[in-house]
Amino acid sequence: MNSVSPSAVQYVGGVGVVGQDDTFQREETRRPQQPQLVGPGRGSSFGNRQGTDVGGGRTREASTAGEPDEVDKLKTKLMSAWNNVKYGWSVKSKTTFNKSSPVTVMGHSYLLNSEDEVERFRRAFVSRLWLTYRREFPQLEGSTLTTDCGWGCMLRSGQMLLAQGLLLHLLPRDWLWPDAQQFVDVDFEALRPRSPSRAGGVPIPSFGYSSSSRTPTTPQKTSMPGGTALNHTQKKRPESGRDRQAEPLHRRVVAWFGDEPPAPFGVHQLVELGKSSGKKAGDWYGPSVVAHILRKAVAKTSEVHNLAVYVAQDCTVYKKDVVHLCDQSLNQSISDPEPSGPGWKSVIILVPVRLGGDSLNPSYIECVRNILRLECCIGIIGGKPKHSLFFIGCQDEQLLYLDPHYCQAVVDVTQDNFPLESFHCSSPRKMPFSRMDPSCTIGFYAKNKKDFESLCSAVCVALSSSEEKYPIFTFVEGQAQDYGLVGHSSSHPHSDTSPGPAHMLPQGKLSRSNTIGSSDDFVFL
């Protein structure tokens, strides 16, 4: 049994933060509801209760009338510690970043050798939407579940991928959350030359970022738009008034992912849309299935305008299919009483791939790293085997990610000024590329036709960096049917209700393998 130090379980501003996740060995195949520590006077020591915390996150029951808040916080820490021990998690208290090499977050790079750059990195990371397990939400239709703990991690990762695309679609590209929290338990390290006796580094002061720091130690800065690398000679702007003005849009996007049936991208809607793929609440969702669920969710809702989602087939993006999906002049109905005229829809492109057999093919690591450095990339949903994560960047040989495996109480997003803190993570986590599960879905966003053309060029350059003969995926001219593909196509609205069969490879294209993954349909690389 692993011991858990007090620093391994934190409670900051009402949001608990679990220690370094890159050492977690937990399998997601556990049952949705797990034993929970019950406080004194609540019956037996352990019970099978809904709304439990699976995986060491905060398991905080509603406070009883008159119960001191400090007591409630203490109970939260004890329950989190119990879950860490119960499920065998090995916990580290801090995440270390190398301050002598750049860290990438959503296509922007930061060299963490100054307080200004650390501040820019902090705001860029914390501004991403963090969507996690929730408990005590309305019962999912067709089940008795009121939590997605233990089975909904891939849906949550998919939500985060879509949320990043929506932020780019609706807010200024360089928008940052003005109220971003301070980092919790993060160290910045200057690495010395490696030697047989020493492979680590020397910790340096963490610029005032600790679990006890709740106020900024430097003026708030922001990353500069455009490009994948940061020009450190450019001026850094303070908090933008435009960022503050965009807060209603930020809050609206969060509300779309609320844990209630009407929310267009909430878990209730996603589970409902997954039924056509043979999935139900409590099932494991693979990254390919989630990609199609997200496409259907965007196509179904009337909340989001001028946005389409394209899901690649057999590791291939068919450019003409994207054009037909996005070019509104081609899709304009003659009988439409209010023609919109020529225009181009923004597009989120999702590419399900499998980067190896049972484990990641090391030859693709450099390619994945280069993709994450692209400004058009909105992240990768994948993770460790049966343990979904949302990858948003990298540093050296490690991936930077947001982890959905943290159970929080449901937030009523229908209320005015509902709290936003639990939708943003202040504790960045990393894991080695070598531990990445080969099954994943890569996301891209293009605002307009010019951006789409630039996306194709930039991604093709990144794909060519692979040491393998065959790239992770390809862009081809023409439509899917031009290559003899049958069945489902992301570009045809009538197919939104069907997941479609597995497809043939384009004629004349070499087959990488005829083996299909057990949890999802992929072409092996």
Q: d(Cα 236, Cα 224) in Å, to the nearest integer?
A: 8
In order of 14, 18, 205, 327, 436, the CA distances from 98 in angstroms are 29, 21, 13, 44, 20
Strand partners, 429: 401
The two tokens of residue 450 are 């010019």
Coil/strand/helix, residue 160: helix
Residue type, 243: D
- Residue 250 annotated to the active site: no
Q: Please, where are the H alpha helices in 364-441?
A: 365-372
Identified catalytic residue from 149, 153, 376, 456:
153
- Cβ atoms of 122 and 237 within 8 Å: the answer is no
Query: How far is the C-alpha of 88 from the C-alpha of 432, rounded, in Å?
Result: 20
* 3-state DSSP assignment of residue 29: coil
Catalytic residue check, 405: yes
Q: Tokens standing for 168?
A: 């780019």
Q: How far is CA 134 from CA 15, 19, 54, 123, 424, in A?
A: 13, 19, 10, 25, 14
Cα 289 to Cα 160: distance, rounded to the nearest angstrom: 15
Note whether 443 and 378 are within 8 A (CB).
Answer: yes
Nearest to 457 by CA among 374, 354, 365, 390: 374
Interior CA angle at 24 toward 20 and 25, to 5°? Answer: 170
* DSSP bridge pairs for 123: none
Active site (annotated) includes residue 367: no
Distance CA 56, CA 59 (A): 8
What are 206's two structure tokens?
């963490």
> Which helix H or strand E contains 253, and what residues bound it?
helix 247-256
**E strands within 292-434?**
307-311, 316-318, 346-354, 377-384, 387-395, 398-402, 408-409, 429-432
Catalytic pick among 108, 268, 387, 405: 405
For residues 390 and 380, is the Cβ–Cβ distance under 8 A? Answer: yes
- In our burial notation (b when 16+ CB lie closer than 10 A, e otherwise), range 463-476 reads beebeeeebbbbbb
Alpha helices in 373-511 (DSSP H): 449-463
Residues 470 and 371 sit within 8 Å (Cβ to Cβ)? no
Q: Which of 21, 243, 403, 496 is catalytic?
A: 403
Q: Which SS3 state, helix, strand or coil, does residue 416 take? A: coil
Q: Which residues are catalytic?
A: 153, 403, 405
